[in-house]
Structure 1
């Protein structure tokens, strides 16, 4: 099996840049730049920003940032998948995960949504057999803060530094996933990283 569509989740608009909920956009933007992918192009019919790159000796891979808000992420993914005839098994979705520490990554297939509204919308529109690329943003602090305020909040300077230091790992994991497929890549990716990450409950 080879992947043909990689999706980064987030909210469109400059006011949401550098927020925790937009880490999927951030990683996908960096990946596209490193791969020399085509310039992003808004496709209003497919409701997304699209780019494409071609790995060596392989078929093209589409990159997608939905232009819908997070809670309707599945709309664009369904449209793009249908238009290019890409089955869910050939889709990677990257998104923020509060149950992982900042700097951590985990890959899984055919599991639940974990209460993530973007994921919930996706599985309501396509089969849940796509690959999940979960990027840790850490537990909310203080505990009294609402989840919405936390995920829509911007990273602290310290967190931004850690994300920058972790970006190489994010990209390496994504590249490995594309080359090796989920079953093989998960063995490597789902090990705890050696890089120290922020402990939950600390800023």
Structure 2
């Protein structure tokens, strides 16, 4: 399976840059920098920011950051997929995951939106046959805290340290998915980390 489109989910605007909900944007930015992608360009017709790269490891890939706000992410994704004739199975989506601890990442090929409105909107507009790169942000600290308040809150300084230390692993997960395919990537990324290899990626 080859991938032609990678989508990072988040909200546009400077006020959202460091929020938990924008980790998908941050991972995609880091991935683009790491692999030497072209500069990002705003495409009004798609309501998104796009760039592309041609990589020796996995060929040409389009990167997309929807600028429609999270709950309407699927509209932008649908437009790009339709224009470039990209089927769902050739797309990967990077987004924040409540059910994974901060610093963790997992890859999957199926499943529900799990309460994530951006993923839910994509699922409502295209077939569910796309890869998911789920980046952990951890559970709410208090059960009574509104979910929207939590995902739109900013990481603490200690949490930012974890995010920075984990970014290489996030990027590596995406590289492995595109280069090796979902099965091999899942076998490597989704396994439980051992105490003696916590620093290896």
- Fold conserved between structures, TM > 0.5: yes
**Partner residue, 1:105:** 105
Q: Runs ≥4 in structure 1, deviation > 4 angstroms?
A: none
Q: Which residue of 2 aligns with 1:120?
A: 120
Q: Which residue of 2 aligns with 1:94?
A: 94
Q: Secondary structure at the match of 2:49?
A: strand
Alpha-carbon separation, structure 2, partners of 1:153 and 1:59: 36
C-alpha separation between the residues in 1 aligned to 2:99 and 2:139? Answer: 6
Report if the CA contact (8 A) 2:71-2:121 is conserved.
yes
Looking at structure 2, the residues matched to 57 and 102 of structure 1 have their Cα atoms a distance apart, in angstroms, of 28
Separation (CA, whole Å) in 2 of partners of 1:93 and 1:192: 22
In structure 2, distance between residues paired with 1:119 and 1:50: 19
* Cα offsets for 1:54-95 (capped at 9, x unmatched): 111753100000010100110111000111111000000000
Q: TM-score, normalised by structure 2?
A: 0.94
| Contact 1:104–1:192, Cα closer than 8 Å, also in 2 | no
Judging changes above 3 Å, is the alpha-carbon distance between structure 1 residues 107 and 164 closer, same or farther for their aligned structure 2 residues? same
Secondary structure of the structure 1 residue equivalent to 2:153: coil
2:172 matches 1:172: yes
Size of the aligned set, in residue pairs, is 196
Partner of 2:187: 187
> 1:11 corresponds to which residue?
11
- Whether the aligned pair in 2 keeps the contact of 1:66 and 1:77 (CA below 8 Å) is yes
What secondary structure sits across from 1:54 in the alignment?
Answer: strand
SS at match of 2:171: helix
Residue 39 of structure 2 corresponds to residue 39 of structure 1: yes
Per the alignment, do residues 114 and 130 of structure 1 end up closer, same or farther by CA in structure 2, a change over 3 Å counting? Answer: same
Instruction: Identify if the C-alpha distance between structure 1 residues 57 and 116 changes in structure 2 by more than 3 Å, giving closer, same or farther.
Output: closer
1:88–1:130 Cα contact (<8 Å) kept: yes
Rounded to whole Å, the distance in 1 between the matches of 2:141 and 2:58 is 44
Q: Distance in 2 between matches of 1:101 and 1:184?
A: 22
Q: CA offsets, 1:107-141, max 9 Å, x none?
A: 11121111111111001101000001000000011
1:200 matched residue in structure 2: none
Residues 23-172 of structure 1 correspond to what in structure 2 (within 5 A)?
23-56=23-56, 58-172=58-172
The answer to whether the 8 Å contact 1:6/1:91 transfers is: yes
